Structure 1
Amino acid sequence: MMRRRTTLLTGCTALALALGATACGGGPVSAGDDKPLSGQTVTVAGVWSGSEQKNFQKVLDAFSAKTGAKTQFVSTGDNVSTVVGSKIEGGNAPDVVMVPQVGVLQQFAQKGWLTPLSATAQSTVDAGFAPVWKKYGSVDGTLYGLYFKAAHKSTVWYSPDALAQAGVDTPKTYDDMLKAGHTLSDSGLAAFSVAGQDGWTLTDWFENIYLSQAGPEKYDALAAHRLKWTDASVVTALDTLGKLFKDKQLIAGGRTEALNTDFPGSVEKVFGPKPDAGMVYEGDFVAGVAKDQFGRTIGKDADFFPFPAVGGGTAPVVSGGDAAVVLKDGKNAAAGMKLVEYLATPDAAAVWAGAGGFLSPNRKLDLAKYGDDVTRATAKSLIDAGDTVRFDMSDQAPAAFGGTKGAGEWKLLQDFLRDPSDPKATAAQLESAAAKAYQG
């Protein structure tokens, strides 16, 4: 993406400050020019489509209004690595890529595709973000990625009416959650809707259980493959997850139906016109589907409780996110860097926060900018977690293991959902796939 300038024109300093450090990029600029990037176009690639792309465009439009730059967004689909790699090879590299996986960010950096973030962006990150976000955006001590959008993946969403009718309170422990699920089932509604058709949702289930049960040090070691997947802690977590999968009372339609349910379908089973379950586990983005597709009022018809503590551990906070990185081969990399500097500011985050379907890891963003109390509570939980947040483990892994449909961890956990009878065998299969992917 954008190439960092090592020297800034002193005549632009005041202007840069006035523009929230988005000025002085891309071509000759006079000190009195209030649209310093006029005539330049910044190309941005990312996985977003639909409402996410529409809302991100509002952020890009705000950047354009501030700087005069035009923007062009290119949706890559899920396979960001392949699409961006082919664009670089074809001489058509975007300036900025919104990278959804730590493993892909590391891969891009190791291939020499990325420009380190500017001093301005780095100082904004230092001032506004918990150090853990800088850690996940860095490779070998160099900061390449700015985490603009975050996901809170430790939220269990439920129908308040369903729980109230069953006389169930929101649980504080994992065992209490399963007990509440049985009470729901006895009242005629399955406990959980599980999106087994999408393997990534199953990795999220495992990660929350593992982080709470095994603790953050082992979580970090397993994420980096310093700990083997055959470790007893992995088998224990799989056994805990398997007890949920085995229980016919707890999963809507049983394991077979779960394997044929994708993520939007899992939300529909709880918040659609004909509910089959009272709860669905997934990230804060469940709220967007419940609201936009099924007309639910967040906080009234749909609410969440934090993923509860497992086996005497601490309640987990697992996150994901999209990091803005700058490609060296982008045609307008300098202007792209100015976009990343803007994305680091609370002003940029506020644009999408107001539109909904968004969480920011920027602790300088006023929580009042979010549109509803539930989103504010989710955002506060993420910010308050500070450095105890752990990034989605599968997103830290090489894509061949943690991010490929029908392969690696996604497929093996789907197989485990299909037959959860042998956690040790599944752990061995996971280790074999991980060893191959990390070696590659």
Structure 2
Amino acid sequence: MRNLAARRIRTGIRTAVSGTAVLGLALTATACGGDSGDSSGGGKQTLKGQSVTVAGVWTGVEQKNFKKVLDAFSEKTGAKTSFVSTGDNVSTVIGSKIEGGNAPDVVMVPQVGVLEQFAEKKWLEPLSKEVASRAAADFAPVWKEYGTVGGTYYGLYFKASHKSTVWYSPEAFEQAGVGPAKSYQDLLKTGRTLSDSGVPAFSVAGEAGWPLTDWFENIYLSQAGPENYDKLAAHEIPWTHPTVVKALTTLGKLFGDKDLVAGGGAGALRTDFPESVEQVFGPEPKAGMVYEGDFVGGLVTDQLKKKVGEDAKFFPFPAVDGGKAPVVSGGDAAVVLKAGKNKKAAMELVKYLASPEAAGIWAEAGGFISPNTKVDLGRYADDTARQTAKSLIDAGDSVRFDMSDQAPAAFGGTQGAGEWKLLQDFLRDPSDPKATARKLEAAAAKAYRK
């Protein structure tokens, strides 16, 4: 049984925040302090001869950049490190590895619900007092709360994301004579103008379900408000609630318009996330915009060799029906498995990940935001990354965490099941929002009972 009382405490302390105001803040490179502070091992090779295996969802450029962090840890401590990609089904893969006696030492958990599931299954080691102390000193309290289950601190949030950004091609916008949208209605109008100019509005990544949940969450937070968002995240209101049907209806107007979605629903369902970015910023553009988080910037820079801020720009996800512009976040938490064979080295790695030094390595590589307030903004690869990083830090406890990441994994975090699958079905045919809401509620009720 999930601890819904604890969830109410976590969700109850957060309030809505205007994405437009937050993203428009002036930047000061020293606002978040420097990269001072000790880091694991102190350069004395204290873990020489030991090894740490880390598992996580990252592939491609994200995996490459995280390995730079692991390499720095190895150089500092002497520990050997390796990374194993789990794919999106983190819970299933890790469960299988534990049962097979081949558990990794550290897992980078991408959903709050999965972290809670791991804790409830007694798979996790509590994080050390040193890690907890660093988290309390250098992170907004909300991030430690997200990593806490039943009063025990299990997960250190190393990587965060700002999931309320719409990325666009300045060239496509200039040719169509349009600018960044200020409201959701303006967004649709801009999209149709782009289509009239010969470029479909959006490339939608429908091949995996998680980008579709992010679409829904931004619309729902703005349209239904933060109180309803918190209730739905805790399943205190059903997915058949009128606010859910209204949000699905709003989303369906975009998903069901073939002038707004490149390739229509069928094409979007064959488009994975990296491809959705390439369709906007690649050599043969197929759309003018792509919605997703700040991590789009990493793909633009590293995979497509384009300049963020010049070849690729973004604007805040616009307010819906007069609500406030949403700010939805997500993150990956480092946890230590009890079944791992190298728990001492694993805990030292998590301590290192809590340092501004570790975060700064990936920040320089791009496609990364740290919730660590001590990371020097000057470490980020470009002005856009600095802007989104500062906005997340300044939002503090007012950030709303990705709703699907708060849900049980069976509902909000499993490929081909639950919310991911049902929103893919909705992308294919968005004609009946009420029916989709009923299916979502049936899946949620089953998952939350466990």
Identity of aligned residues (%): 73
Runs (4+) off by over 3 Å:
none
Work out which of the residue numbers 437, 441, 450 in structure 2 matches 1:427: 437
SS at match of 2:336: strand
Deviation (angstroms), 1:92? 2.8
Unaligned runs of 5+ in 1: 1-17, 25-32
Which position in structure 2 is the counterpart of 1:156? Answer: 166
Name the aligned partner's letter for residue 49 of structure 1.
Answer: T
Kept after mapping to 1: 8 A contact 2:169/2:289: yes
**Distance of 1:266 and 1:298 partners within structure 2:** 16
Matched, 1:96 2:106: yes
Deviation (angstroms), 1:21? 5.3
Which position in structure 2 is the counterpart of 1:371? Answer: 381
Deviation (angstroms), 1:23? 4.3
Deviations 1:353-401 (A, max 9, x none): 1122211111211111011111111212222222221221112212221
Kept after mapping to 2: 8 A contact 1:133/1:147: yes
Task: Report 1:180-259 matches (<5 A).
Answer: 180-259=190-269
Greater shift, 406-415 or 79-88, is seen at 79-88
Work out which of the residue numbers 387, 398, 405 in structure 2 matches 1:395: 405
Matched, 1:177 2:169: no
**Distance of 2:387 and 2:251 partners within structure 1:** 27
Name the aligned partner's letter for residue 20 of structure 1.
Answer: D
- Taking structure 2 as the reference length, what is the TM-score of the superposition? 0.88
Question: Are the structure 2 counterparts of residues 205 and 223 from structure 1 closer, same or farther at C-alpha, using a change threshold of 3 Å?
Answer: same
**Distance of 1:426 and 1:93 partners within structure 2:** 38
**Distance of 1:171 and 1:98 partners within structure 2:** 35
SS at match of 2:315: strand
Name the aligned partner's letter for residue 50 of structure 2.
Answer: Q
Kept after mapping to 1: 8 A contact 2:265/2:427: yes
Kept after mapping to 2: 8 A contact 1:115/1:144: yes
Work out which of the residue numbers 34, 38, 42 in structure 2 matches 1:20: 38
SS at match of 1:189: coil
Deviations 1:133-177 (A, max 9, x none): 112111122211001011221111100111122221211211111
Kept after mapping to 2: 8 A contact 1:215/1:313: yes
SS at match of 1:420: coil
Which position in structure 2 is the counterpart of 1:73? Answer: 83
Matched, 1:330 2:340: yes
**Distance of 2:241 and 2:282 partners within structure 1:** 40
Kept after mapping to 2: 8 A contact 1:95/1:331: yes
Report how many residues are paired: 415
SS at match of 2:288: strand
Kept after mapping to 1: 8 A contact 2:61/2:303: no
**Distance of 1:258 and 1:68 partners within structure 2:** 45
Kept after mapping to 2: 8 A contact 1:41/1:332: yes
Kept after mapping to 2: 8 A contact 1:19/1:66: no
**Distance of 2:234 and 2:61 partners within structure 1:** 33
Matched, 1:306 2:316: yes
Unaligned runs of 5+ in 2: 1-35
Deviation (angstroms), 1:207? 0.6
Question: Are the structure 2 counterparts of residues 248 and 48 from structure 1 closer, same or farther at C-alpha, using a change threshold of 3 Å?
Answer: closer
Deviation (angstroms), 1:72? 2.4
Task: Report 1:130-149 matches (<5 A).
Answer: 130-149=140-159
Kept after mapping to 2: 8 A contact 1:151/1:319: yes
Name the aligned partner's letter for residue 428 of structure 1.
Answer: R
Name the aligned partner's letter for residue 397 of structure 1.
Answer: A
Matched, 1:382 2:392: yes
Deviations 1:253-296 (A, max 9, x none): 32232233222222222112222211111112222222333332
**Distance of 2:268 and 2:84 partners within structure 1:** 33
Which position in structure 1 is the counterpart of 2:328? Answer: 318
Kept after mapping to 1: 8 A contact 2:88/2:415: no
Work out which of the residue numbers 326, 329, 353 in structure 2 matches 1:343: 353
Which position in structure 2 is the counterpart of 1:11? Answer: none
Task: Report 1:412-423 matches (<5 A).
Answer: 412-423=422-433
Matched, 1:357 2:375: no
**Distance of 2:89 and 2:392 partners within structure 1:** 27
Question: Are the structure 2 counterparts of residues 262 and 77 from structure 1 closer, same or farther at C-alpha, using a change threshold of 3 Å?
Answer: closer
Name the aligned partner's letter for residue 407 of structure 1.
Answer: A
Deviation (angstroms), 1:338? 1.3
RMSD: 1.8
Kept after mapping to 1: 8 A contact 2:359/2:375: yes
SS at match of 2:107: strand
Deviations 1:75-124 (A, max 9, x none): 22222222222222233322211111111111110011111111111111
Greater shift, 33-42 or 199-208, is seen at 33-42
Kept after mapping to 1: 8 A contact 2:61/2:299: no
Work out which of the residue numbers 67, 71, 74 in structure 2 matches 1:61: 71
Kept after mapping to 2: 8 A contact 1:21/1:338: no
Name the aligned partner's letter for residue 313 of structure 1.
Answer: G
Deviation (angstroms), 1:319? 1.4
Kept after mapping to 2: 8 A contact 1:307/1:315: yes
Name the aligned partner's letter for residue 170 of structure 1.
Answer: P
Matched, 1:282 2:271: no
**Distance of 2:286 and 2:351 partners within structure 1:** 46
Deviation (angstroms), 1:196? 2.2
**Distance of 2:75 and 2:270 partners within structure 1:** 45
Task: Report 1:82-93 matches (<5 A).
Answer: 82-93=92-103
Deviation (angstroms), 1:423? 1.3
Greater shift, 231-240 or 75-84, is seen at 75-84
